[in-house]
Each structure stands twice: as C-alpha cells, then as structure tokens.
Structure 1
Amino acid sequence: MTNITIEVVKDGNIEPCRELCNELMAFQQSRAVMAPEVFDRMNFDTRMRRSYDGALRTHVLIARDEGVPVGYAFSTVEDLEPGDDKLPAWAPNRDSADSKGFYPDWVELPKKIGFLSNLYLRDGYRSMGLGKKLFDSSMEWLESFPDVDLLFIYVSNGNEDALRYYLKQGFIYSHEVFGGFIKAVYKRLEK
C-alpha cells in the first residue's frame, strides 16, 4: 500500500472495474436483509456496463495499489425523460403496485440529474481516507455541470454504514426504492 494512485478513466476502458464491481455486488448481497437473491442478477455487465453505455456523461475513478485496481467510483449525469422511472429487469417487487421506482414524486422530469452510482474499496483499503478521496473527486465532477442541480445516491438495503456516511456528507434521505430494497438520498446543489 505504498504506491496508491487514483486515475480518471479517459479512454472509455472501464474493464479494470469488472472484478471490483462484481465484488461490490457480492458485498451488497452479503449485507442485504431484503431479497439478497436479487443480487444474483447483478454484475458488471448488468449494472455498470449498462449504465456507463447509456449515460449522457460518465466519470470513472480507479484507485490502484502498485498498479492493481483496489477500488473505484463511478458517477453519471442523466438526462431524464417522462417514463424513465421504469423498473429494471433485476428489480424486486416488479409486479407490486406499491413498488416505487428510482425517483420520488417531487422530481419534475425532464431534468438532468447527477448520480454517484458506485463507490467501492476492497478490504484492507477502507478507513485510510481513500474512499473520501474518491467521494470528493466524484462530487467535484458532478458539481462542475451548471445544468445539474440535483444529485442522487442509491444505497442497497443492509448497507447502513454507507447510508450514514452519505447523510454525514450532506445528503438527505429521500425515499425507499422497490419497497425498501434500496434507499435513496439526494442533495440539491446551489447554483
């Protein structure tokens, strides 16, 4: 852990995040108290790759130790249209009438919204300040867009440490997604 670097992916090659993203999905599954089996359908291809390819703007940071990826942060800016709150294929409670989607009732669409989609560090790299660096760099990027005034982070059920962290960083609890499978937090940006 002597030579930790953080790089911004500029060439579109997010493949170094594959193993880390799959580890994140397994980590979230291990913490889930609600529908952990849903994470069986979540991986790099179904989550990060799909989101990266479909986003208006993307920002990926990779933390490396001696060149080996040990963590990453993935952020996007989305241009939302009416109806964009449809349920993804992996969503639990897809057929439930009360299964609320990603956006709360108070979001007026269309609107550009920023997202911190993933933030993950391997064991042994947490509690070193590295996660804070990834978070701060991601927020700086998201806040740099004059047409983005709302940020969201979605926290998987059972990951109360992450939820508390984001709340301490100035985010506000918004709503439960898919009947509590995910908790949404948001932050309005003063422009």
Structure 2
Amino acid sequence: MRNTITVEIVQDGNIEPCRELCNELMAFQKSRATLAPELFDAMNFDTRMKRSYASALESQVILVKDDGVPVGYAFSTIDNIARSKHAYPDWAPRAEGSQGFYPDWDDLPDKVGCLNNLYLRDGYRHLGLGSKLFGMAMEWLDSFSDVDVIFIFVSNGNEAALDFYLGRGFAFSHDVFGGFIKTTYKRR
C-alpha cells in the first residue's frame, strides 16, 4: 500500500467528504446496470447516503484518503426496518411477483445491519483497500450483539461486487424489484 494512503473512521458526523465519491458510485452503478439504468439518475449523495445516514439508528463511515484527498469509502448502518419490511419505493421498477428489499422470512428481525456502500476509485481497487474497508465495516456491524442479520444490496450488472461479497461469507437471498438489485445476507 502507498505511504500516502490513510484509512479513517469519520468521528465528527461530517460525511460531506463522501459526496463526490457517492455520486461517482451511482454513476458507476448506472454504467454497469443492465436493467433500468435510468433509475440511477435520481440517486446521489443527497437522496441515498445523506438520507440513510440521517435516518439510521447507528451509522459508520470509513474514509480512504490519498495524500488527504478522498478516494474511497464504506458506509454502514444499523436500521429498524419494522415499518419498511415490505416497502416498495416509488422509484422501484414494477415486475410481476417482484419482492422488496427484505426477504419474506418468518424470523426476519426488526433491527438489521447493512453495508450500504463500498466504493474505491479506479487505481485504488487492487491494493487490498476493498478488503480492508469490508473488514472494518463487518467488525463494526458485528459489534452490535442485538443485530442477527447483515444485508448487502448489490446493483444489477455489478457481478464483481456480488462475487466479492459471496466470497466473503454472504449468501444470495433474492432479487429485489424484479432483478434491479440482488440481496445478499449473513446471519450471526
């Protein structure tokens, strides 16, 4: 790893340094999407990350910088999904028999963990930083003894990310919104 790279947990609640990176992630997901890529046009830092950060019970943001410049991040939350277990957002594609974000498990808890975003700019993806961010995020999520399930939602067309999570102990659960997103999970 380069000597100029630092990895830090955001302590002061200022997630603004992730704005450009989050917007790049949404553009990256759109570029990979094979189903409804136009839906990513309405997804950005304000509509996705900032909103999720504000509504979560707990949040963690890990920021990677190269010589002080943000080049990647991981964003994780602990959420109460009691009211949103069967929610179907307005932006979501409609498909016959389509399922929402969460599986129809009888034992689906109200409180869950989620790795919302993990993103690194080109040039930083083969330095072990993704694994480091993933490990730090999982350590934080695992620190909540009352959280029994962790979810990761992978946008359609991003098979490399799906393979990354499946190779690290997550299992495929179901397609969300007719395949727009793939849900992976890990139980404690």
- 2:21 corresponds to: 20
1:41-190 aligned at under 5 Å gives the runs 41-93=42-94, 96=95, 98-106=97-105, 108-189=107-188
Alpha-carbon offset, residue 92 of structure 1: 1.9
SS in 2 for 1:102: coil
Q: Over aligned residues, Cα RMSD in angstroms?
A: 1.3
Whether the 8 Å contact between 2:30 and 2:40 is mirrored in structure 1 is: yes
C-alpha distance in 1 between matches for 2:84 and 2:57: 17
Whether the 8 Å contact between 2:29 and 2:158 is mirrored in structure 1 is: yes
Q: Which amino acid aligns with 1:133?
A: K
SS in 2 for 1:132: helix
Runs of 4+ in structure 1 off by over 6 angstroms are none
Alpha-carbon offset, residue 88 of structure 1: 2.3
C-alpha distance in 1 between matches for 2:173 and 2:65: 33
1:25-44 aligned at under 5 Å gives the runs 25-44=26-45
TM-score, scaled relative to structure 2: 0.95
Answer with 5-14 or 74-83: which moved more: 74-83
TM-score, scaled relative to structure 1: 0.94
Gaps of 5+ in 2: none
Whether the 8 Å contact between 1:82 and 1:109 is mirrored in structure 2 is: no
In the comparison of the two structures, how many residue pairs are matched?
A: 187
1:168–1:109 distance in 2 versus 1, CA, 3 Å: closer
SS in 1 for 2:46: helix
C-alpha distance in 2 between matches for 1:107 and 1:67: 47
Alpha-carbon offset, residue 91 of structure 1: 1.6
Whether the 8 Å contact between 2:85 and 2:101 is mirrored in structure 1 is: no
Q: Which amino acid aligns with 2:88?
A: L
Whether the 8 Å contact between 1:81 and 1:109 is mirrored in structure 2 is: no
C-alpha distance in 2 between matches for 1:11 and 1:107: 38
1:109–1:165 distance in 2 versus 1, CA, 3 Å: closer
1:62–1:180 distance in 2 versus 1, CA, 3 Å: same
Alpha-carbon offset, residue 98 of structure 1: 2.2
C-alpha distance in 2 between matches for 1:111 and 1:10: 27
Gaps of 5+ in 1: none
Alpha-carbon offset, residue 53 of structure 1: 0.5
C-alpha distance in 1 between matches for 2:138 and 2:84: 27
1:129–1:83 distance in 2 versus 1, CA, 3 Å: closer
Alpha-carbon offset, residue 97 of structure 1: 5.0
C-alpha distance in 2 between matches for 1:86 and 1:129: 36
Q: Note the alpha carbon deviations across 1:66-105, whole angstroms, 9 max, x for none.
A: 0000000000001121444312233222xx4522100111
